[in-house]
Amino acid sequence: MMERESLFTLYRLTDKEFNLISQLVYETVGIHLPPEKRVLVESRLQQLLKQENLTSFDELYKRIISDESGILLSEMINRITTNHTYFMRESAHYDFMVQQILPRWKNEPYRDIRIWSAGCSSGEEIYTVAILIREHFSPYRPEEWGLLGTDISLRVLEQAQQGIYVADRLENLDPLLIRKYFLQLDENTYQVKEEIRDMVLFKRFNLMRETYPFRGKFDIIWCRNVLIYFDQTHKERILSHLVDVLKPGGYLFIGHSETIEREKYGLTFIQPAIYQKEAA
């Protein structure tokens, strides 16, 4: 009976606790949680409270701020934000890359191409890029390519590294590509083959960082369905950083439901959700 009751215990998030948590989220990852998100936060953090054997959100808050590893904070952010993604999402971007960008790179004598998926979640976006590169570049020379996937959440980065997905994440992918680049683990589960996994480096990176210390600049930055979480101030700061680390003439892809004031960043509109940095 006790067991049964504990399964259904709902821990209440008071206004005071909500304010503490939303302030922490805002300060660390820039995500603004308006008061109407209180119920959502309350329900999404129930499991975390149980996992940590805690009985109030106040205790959870205290544990998070005293956890120097930042792992618990990351777990909380994880549950509050949406990590949903899939292969070939918003496929017009991939069509553009294959039809307009890759053919130009093919003609370059030496390639040092760098592509970044900023807010990569469980990796489907950057793996789609990797698969298309493999399809269109033969022979493939690993030393010419740098593919990077970053996210704030360690949990999704682990999934990305394993590259294991349920079948519905692959629904938009050509069955020929699935056969060629995935191993079927069981009826409903696929794993990206090692040759594709090896093409991508996954790292934790908080887009709220003051500096973006990358060694080289990028040819394409995919930052799709991420900016949506940030308020205007943080979004502008992140966008300036992203444009800063883009090569002149490089491309920025954002989500189709997102908007940016391109003039502020020296970007040219190419087609919906695709922008190009002005050449030097």
**From CA 181, how far away is CA 196, in angstroms rounded?**
7
**From CA 136, how far away is CA 118, in angstroms rounded?**
23
Stretch that binds ligand SAM, among 38-46, 116-124, 240-248, 260-268 (CB under 6 A): 116-124
User: Does residue 159 belong to the site contacting ligand SAM (CB under 6 A)?
Assistant: no
Structure tokens at 103: 């053919």
Whether residue 139 is preceded by a cis peptide bond, meaning omega within 30 degrees of 0, is: yes
Stretch that binds ligand SAM, among 40-48, 77-85, 173-181, 243-251 (CB under 6 A): 77-85
**From CA 242, how far away is CA 222, in angstroms rounded?**
10
Closer CB to ligand SAM, 86 or 190, in the complex: 86
User: Does residue 151 belong to the site contacting ligand SAM (CB under 6 A)?
Assistant: yes
User: Does residue 128 belong to the site contacting ligand SAM (CB under 6 A)?
Assistant: no
Q: Is 44 a catalytic residue?
A: yes
φ/ψ of residue 101, rounded to 5: -100, -50
User: Does residue 226 belong to the site contacting ligand SAM (CB under 6 A)?
Assistant: yes
How many beta carbons lie within 10 A of that of residue 71, not counting itself?
A: 12
Q: Which of 57, 60, 85, 148 binds ligand SAM (CB under 6 A)?
A: 85
Q: Which of 21, 207, 221, 243 binds ligand SAM (CB under 6 A)?
A: 207
Minimum distance from CB of 257 to ligand SAM (Å)?
A: 10
- Among 142, 129, 253, smallest CA distance to 192 is for 129
- Among 191, 189, 172, smallest CA distance to 181 is for 191
Q: Is 151 a catalytic residue?
A: yes
Number of residues that bind ligand SAM (CB under 6 A): 24
Catalytic annotation, residues: 44, 151
